[in-house]
């Protein structure tokens, strides 16, 4: 089934992990077998060939570069200008992939509709992977006027926060409402019709954003706090507000967000019984809160600095997203429900946002 994945860090993987994503996953793993600099070396699950095998023809692809103050222990860049430059390196890679025919940026409703028609045509074999450009964490926006520059080159969604304290909003494991610049950022996003990605906003900033922002909101990759208690996850109250805003929430595949008591670097997917059924649990929980299947999709984050060591044990590569439909059918969902989850909800959202 044609599938949309609303969160992949392709540019980060290419530029910081030095992965040539045109090569198959198993070839990339082989090339990294002696590397020890990152936990997911030789365990990656995402590359273009596997996206195509899984019929994953449209993704939301990120730029990401966090600013960190010198006394902040999180990884990142020590000035907003450095962070901006890193996002521009990622942008340059996306443009190179377009020049190679591997990818195609999608920025408006006509491009979206034409791309979906292309991918629905089984007779055409060589198809570029469509991508909607999103910024994960707004720290790299040096000043508000940079947002117009980013929109001009194709940026269509922004998550104001990532991990820890941010220049515009506080994220996972932090607290505090939006600052003055954060409020100004939301106002400019609304003017430009840039989608607000609520993912990673701390609770204080989330509620601030819901009150202040009147544009279109989604959550590209977020799971349910009821199932795994952590501030990275959404509470039922937050999910209900997003449903009221006609948002779509992408189910994330990171193991620590799927099973309680995960210990990074120690737990293994098998011993924690972390499988794709846990993803379905999160999808089902959102559907039960909504009373329908119109507010959930896929936002796997499968290349978000983790690989086989920290995802469902019955997923070998991103191609295995095609296991989700049968798991939903087994839970009693209809074929139309499955289409909603795999692509229909994201398409409906974008067509409404871009009409």
pLDDT, tens digit, 9 for 90 and up, residues 158-173: 999 999 999 999 999 9
Given this model, what pLDDT does residue 70 score? Answer: 86
Total domains, the chain: 1
Given this model, what pLDDT does residue 40 score? Answer: 97
Given this model, what pLDDT does residue 125 score? Answer: 85
Q: Which residues of 44-53 are buried (b: 16+ CB within 10 A; e: fewer)?
A: bbbbbbbbbb
The CATH number of whichever domain residue 13 belongs to comes to 3.20.20.140
| Residues 144 and 185: beta-carbon distance below 8 Å | yes
**Residue 101: exposed, middle, or buried by beta-carbon count in 10 A (0-12, 13-18, 19+)?**
exposed
Given this model, what pLDDT does residue 73 score? Answer: 87
Residues 204-219 have a mean pLDDT of 98
Given this model, what pLDDT does residue 134 score? Answer: 98
pLDDT greater than 90 at residue 295: yes
Listed in order, strand segments (DSSP E) in the chain are 3-8, 56-63, 103-105, 129-136, 155-159, 195-197, 217-218, 249-251, 296-298
CA distances in angstroms from 250 to 322, 323, 329, listed in the order given: 16, 16, 19
Query: What would the pLDDT profile of 251-273 be if each residue is shown by its tens digit?
Result: 999 999 999 999 999 999 999 99
Q: Name 59's bridge partners.
A: 5, 131
Distance, in Å, from the CA atom of 167 to the CA atom of 176, rounded to the nearest integer, reads 12
pLDDT greater than 90 at residue 72: no
Eight-state DSSP code of residue 272: T
Q: In terms of Cα–Cα distance, which of 292, 342, 273 is closest to 116?
A: 342
Tokens coding 174: 């932090």
38 Cβ partners below 8 Å, 6+ apart?
A: 17, 305
Given this model, what pLDDT does residue 262 score? Answer: 97
DSSP 54-71: TTEEEEEEEE---B--TT
Given this model, what pLDDT does residue 103 score? Answer: 98
Which domain covers residue 65, as residue numbers?
3-354
Q: In terms of Cα–Cα distance, which of 192, 202, 193 is closest to 168?
A: 202
Given this model, what pLDDT does residue 147 score? Answer: 98
| Residues 181 and 208: beta-carbon distance below 8 Å | no
What does residue 245 show for φ and ψ, rounded to 5 degrees? -85, 5
Given this model, what pLDDT does residue 50 score? Answer: 98
């Amino acid at each position: 089934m044609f599938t949309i994945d609303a969160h992949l860090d392709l540019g980060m993987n290419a530029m910081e992990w030095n992965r040539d994503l045109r090569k198959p996953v198993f070839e990339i793993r082989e090339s990294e077998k002696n590397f020890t600099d990152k936990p997911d070396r030789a365990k990656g699950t995402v590359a273009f060939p596997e996206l195509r095998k899984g019929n994953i023809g449209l993704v939301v692809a990120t730029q990401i570069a966090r600013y960190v103050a010198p006394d902040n222990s999180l990884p990142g860049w020590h000035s907003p200008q450095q962070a901006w430059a890193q996002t521009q390196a990622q942008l340059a890679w996306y443009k190179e992939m377009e020049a190679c025919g591997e990818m195609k940026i999608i920025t408006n409703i006509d491009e979206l509709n034409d791309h979906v028609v292309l991918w629905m045509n089984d007779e055409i074999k060589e198809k570029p992977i469509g991508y909607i450009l999103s910024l994960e964490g707004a720290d790299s926006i040096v000043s508000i006027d940079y947002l117009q520059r980013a929109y001009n080159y194709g940026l269509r969604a922004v998550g104001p926060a990532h991990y820890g304290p941010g220049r515009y909003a506080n994220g996972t494991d932090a607290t505090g409402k939006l600052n003055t610049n954060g409020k100004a950022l939301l106002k400019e996003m609304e003017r430009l019709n840039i989608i607000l990605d609520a993912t990673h906003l701390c609770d204080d900033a989330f509620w601030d954003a819901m009150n202040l922002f009147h544009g279109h909101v989604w959550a590209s990759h977020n799971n349910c706090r009821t199932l795994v208690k952590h501030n990275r996850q959404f509470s039922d109250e937050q999910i209900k507000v997003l449903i009221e805003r006609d948002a779509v929430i992408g189910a994330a595949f990171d193991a620590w967000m799927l099973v309680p008591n995960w210990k990074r670097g120690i737990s293994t997917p098998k011993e924690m019984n972390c499988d794709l059924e846990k993803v379905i649990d999160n999808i089902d929980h959102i559907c039960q809160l909504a009373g329908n299947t119109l507010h959930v999709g896929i936002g796997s984050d499968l290349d978000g600095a983790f690989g086989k060591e920290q995802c469902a044990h019955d997923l070998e590569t991103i191609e295995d997203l095609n296991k989700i439909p049968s798991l939903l059918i087994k839970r009693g969902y209809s074929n139309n429900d499955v289409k909603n989850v795999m692509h229909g909800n994201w398409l409906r959202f974008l067509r409404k946002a871009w009409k």
